[in-house]
A and B are shown apart, each in its own frame.
Chain A
C-alpha cells in the first residue's frame, strides 16, 4: 500500500546505444529518422522479459474489458447463488461437493463455499472492477501530480514553496493507516451513517482517497524535473523567441517529462492494485457481493483450510498480474532510460 518511490529519475538525454556503430547523419539517407520514442521501442522489443510481461498484462486488460462478453459466452454470472437452486453442489458443511473446490466442465474454477457462486465469473468481474478502480485512481493521481508538480516547478517562488510544504505534510502521513481511517469518513460525507453505501460511491471514494494521498509523490518528482528543465537553455531559447508559458509547458517541458511520467505510472498501477485489494480485504473498500480481488481473497481467507482452491485463483491471478506489471515497468524503464540499467 505504499506509494511508489520516486526512484526513477528522469533521463533527460536521449541515448542511442547503437549510435557508435552507425554512420554520422550526413551519410545516411534523408528523411528516415530515429526519434527518441522509436529508439526506446526498438530497445523494448529486444527485451524478452518485457515483451512476455506485456502480453500477460495485455491479457489481463482484455479479460477485464471483455468480462461481460466472456461471462455471456460461458453462460453464468457472478451474482447467482447456483447452490440455492442445486443443493447437490455443496456438501453438508457448505463446501463444494466436487473435488478441487468443485471444479468441473460446468464450473471451470469451481464453486464458492457457502453461497455457491461461480468462481470463474466472479474472478472475471473481480479483475474488471479492481483493475478499473486502480487504473482510474492511477490516472487521477498522475493528472493531479503532473498539473501540480509542473505548475510548482515552472512558477517557482512562493507557489513552489507552498506546494512543497503541502507535499511534505502529505508524505509524512502513514498512508496505510489513513486509508483505513479515512474511508469511513469519506463515506459518511455522502451518506447517512445507517444507509447502505452504493457500490459506485465506494469505488469513487476509493479512487479519491488513493489519489489524494498519491499525487504528492508524483508532483514532487515532476517538480524536481521541471526545476532542472526550465533553466535548460532550450527553454530559454524558446523564451527568447517569445514563446508563451503555455507553449513552453506543453511543447518544451512536457515532451521531456513523458519518460518519468510513464515510469511512475508503471510503478503506481500495480501499487494501487494491491492497495485497493488490501483495503477491500480489510473491509473498507469494496464489499461483498461486489466482485473484487480483495473481497475474493478476504472470503478465501475464511475457508482456505477447508477449500484452498477458492483462495488460489484470486491470489495467483493477482500475483501474476502484479509481477508481470512490475517486470513490464522495469523493461519500460530500461527502454526509455538505458543508462539506469543496473
Chain B
C-alpha cells in the first residue's frame, strides 16, 4: 500500500439487517450481523479479492461500497470524500466511477431491453454524449468485451450465460469507471466459460487501469486476478495480504482451510501430498455469532482466550507489512506445504 490517498477507503464498515417480528405491532427483534467492522483500502488500479464462504457477507460488502445498501456504521470514502451516507444526488458525480458486475447473468439484464439500450442506459442516465454518438460507443464497448457489435438490437434471451456476462461488463465499462465491484462474476457460468470471462476482466483491469473489488467464494479464481486478497468469515475480515503472502504464508487457520480446498494446491508433483483440512460443523448464524473469535466453533486450536477476546486484525509476528491476520494463535511457517512456499503465485 502506498501512503497516498487510496481510491477506496473503508473503515469499520458494518451492516446489520434488522429482523422484524411480533404481532400486532412489528418491531425489531434482532439483527443479522451480515458485515461487522471491515477495514480495507483499494488503491488506484489495484485488484482486491474478497473471499469467503456463502453467507459471510461478501455481497453485502459489495452492495455497501456501491451504496446500494445503507451502512449501519463505519465510513466509506472514495478519493478521500466521505460517501457513507451520501444520497442519490450527492453521489451523482461519483456514480459513474464506481460500477458493479453482478453474479447472475440472467437476473442482471432487463429482459425487456435490447443490448443497445442496456449498455447505453448508464450514458443516458448520466447524460454522457461521447463523440460519435452513444450507439457508436456501445458498438465499441461490445467489441471490447468480445461481442459482435451487430448484436446491438438483440435481447438478452438470445445470448448464452457467458455472453450475457460480457454484456454486463460492457454496461459497467460504459461510464469509464475507476472502480468495479465484481460480485462473483463467474460463479454462475460453466467452468469452460469462466476462464474466458476472467481473462476479459483481467484484460480490462490491466489495459484500462480499473481498480477491482473481486468477490469470489474460493481462493482459486481470485489467485489469477487479484494483487491483494482479503478472506472473510462471518462478516469479518480474518486475513488480508498481498497475494503471494496470503497463498504462500497463510497465517489464519481459516485461510489455510480454504487454501487446502484449492485443487491445484492439493496435489504436488514432487513434494508431499498436502494435508487437506476439513472444516467440521456449519457456519454459525450471523444473527448470534460466537463470542470472541467468530471462527472458534470450527477452529481446531480454539482456547478460552478465543472465546473471550476477539482477535484484532493486526500484523502478527512473522508477517510482512500489509499482511494482517486476526488470530490469537497464528499458524506458523513450518506447516506450509513445500510447493506453495517454494513457488508462490505459480499459477498467476
Q: How far is the CB of B189 from chain A (nearest CB, A)?
A: 15
Complex Cα gap A33–B126 (Å) = 27
**Contact A242–B155 (Cβ < 8 Å):** no
Residues of chain A with a CB closer than 8 A to B92's CB:
242
Q: Is the CB of B151 within 8 A of A25?
A: yes
- B-facing mask of A211-243, CB < 8 A → 1, else 0? 000000000000000000000111011111111
- List the A side residues contacting B91 at CB < 8 Å: 242
Nearest A residue to B115 via CB reads A33
Q: Does A26 contact B (CB under 8 A)?
A: yes
CB-CB contacts below 8 Å: B131-155 with A: 148, 150-155
- Contact status A33-B155, CB under 8 Å: yes
B153 contacts A33, CB within 8 Å? yes
Contact with B along A117-154 (1 / 0, CB 8 A): 00000000000000000000000000000000000000
Chain A residues with CB under 8 A of B174: 241
B299 to chain A, nearest CB (A): 34
- The residue of chain B having its C-beta at the shortest distance from the C-beta of A11 within the complex is B111
The answer to whether B95 touches A233, judged by C-beta atoms less than 8 angstroms apart, is no
CA distance A172 to B155 in the complex (A): 42
Q: Is A255 within 8 A of B112, CB to CB? A: yes
CB of A156, distance to nearest CB on chain B (Å): 12
B121 touching A238, Cβ below 8 Å: yes
**A residues near B104, Cβ cutoff 8 Å:** 233
Query: Which of B88, B108, B112, B163 is close to A36, meaning CB atoms less than 8 Å apart?
Result: B112
A236 contact from B68, B106, B148, Cβ within 8 A: B68
With A233-B108, A234-B110: A241-B121 Cβ-Cβ less than 8 Å: yes
A75 CB-CB contact with B under 8 Å = no
Q: Determine how close the nearest CB of chain A comes to the CB of B132; give it in whole angstroms.
A: 19
The size of the chain B interface, using a CB distance under 8 A, is 45
B175 at the interface (CB under 8 A from A): yes
Determine whether A30 belongs to the interface, using a CB cutoff of 8 Å to chain B: yes
Q: Which of B54-109 contact A (CB under 8 A)?
A: 63, 66, 68, 88, 91-92, 95-96, 98-100, 102-104, 106-109
- Residues of A within 8 Å of B, CB-based: how many? 35
Residue-by-residue, is A16-49 near B (CB-CB < 8 Å gives 1, otherwise 0)?
1001000011100111111110000000000000
Interface Cβ pair total, 8 Å cutoff: 108
Cα A243 to Cα B108 in complex, Å, equals 15
- Cβ-defined contact, B126 with A237, below 8 A: no
Residues on the A chain within 8 Å of B114, using CB: 33, 35
With most chain A CB atoms within 10 A of its CB, the pick from B66, B92, B103, B110 is B110
Answer yes or no: A65 CB below 8 A from chain B CBs: no
Residue contact B157 to A36, C-beta cutoff 8 Å:
yes
CA distance A15 to B106 in the complex (A): 12
Q: How far is the CA of A12 from the CA of B98 in the complex (A)?
A: 28
Nearest-neighbour CB distance to chain B for A166, whole angstroms, equals: 16
Chain A residues positioned under 8 Å from B100 (CB to CB)? 236-237, 240
Provide the bound-state CA to CA distance between A236 and B125, in Å. Answer: 14
Which residues from chain A contact B111 at a C-beta distance below 8 Å? 12-14, 36, 256
Given contacts A25-B151, A34-B155, A36-B157, contact A240 B98 (CB under 8 A): yes
B282 within 8 A of A: no
Contact B157 A242 (CB under 8 A): no
Q: Check if A234 sits within 8 Å of B107, measured CB to CB.
A: yes
Per a CB cutoff under 8 Å, which of A30, A251, A256 touches B150?
A: A30
A339 at the binding interface (Cβ < 8 Å): no
Query: Are A255's CB and B110's CB within 8 A?
Result: yes
Q: Is the CB of B88 within 8 A of A242?
A: yes
B158 CB within 8 Å of chain A: yes
Interface string of A243-278 (1 = CB under 8 A from B): 110010001100110000000000000000000000
Flag if B150 contacts A31 (CB, 8 Å): yes
Which B residues touch A255, using CB under 8 A? 110, 112-113
Q: Is B171 interfacial (CB-CB < 8 Å)?
A: yes
Q: How far is the CB of A250 from chain B (nearest CB, A)?
A: 12
* Chain A hits for B98, CB < 8 A: 240
Q: Which residues of A contact B (CB under 8 A)?
A: 12-16, 19, 24-26, 29-36, 161, 232-234, 236-244, 247, 251-252, 255-256
User: Other than the known A13-B111, A232-B108, what 6 A-B pairs have Cβ atoms closer than 8 Å?
Assistant: A14-B156, A25-B148, A25-B158, A232-B107, A233-B103, A255-B112
In the assembled complex, 27 residue pairs joining A and B whose CB atoms fall closer than 8 Å, in A order, are A12-B111, A14-B112, A14-B155, A14-B157, A15-B157, A16-B158, A24-B160, A25-B154, A25-B158, A33-B153, A33-B154, A36-B157, A233-B102, A233-B103, A233-B108, A236-B108, A237-B100, A237-B171, A238-B121, A238-B125, A240-B66, A240-B99, A241-B99, A241-B174, A242-B92, A243-B121, A256-B110
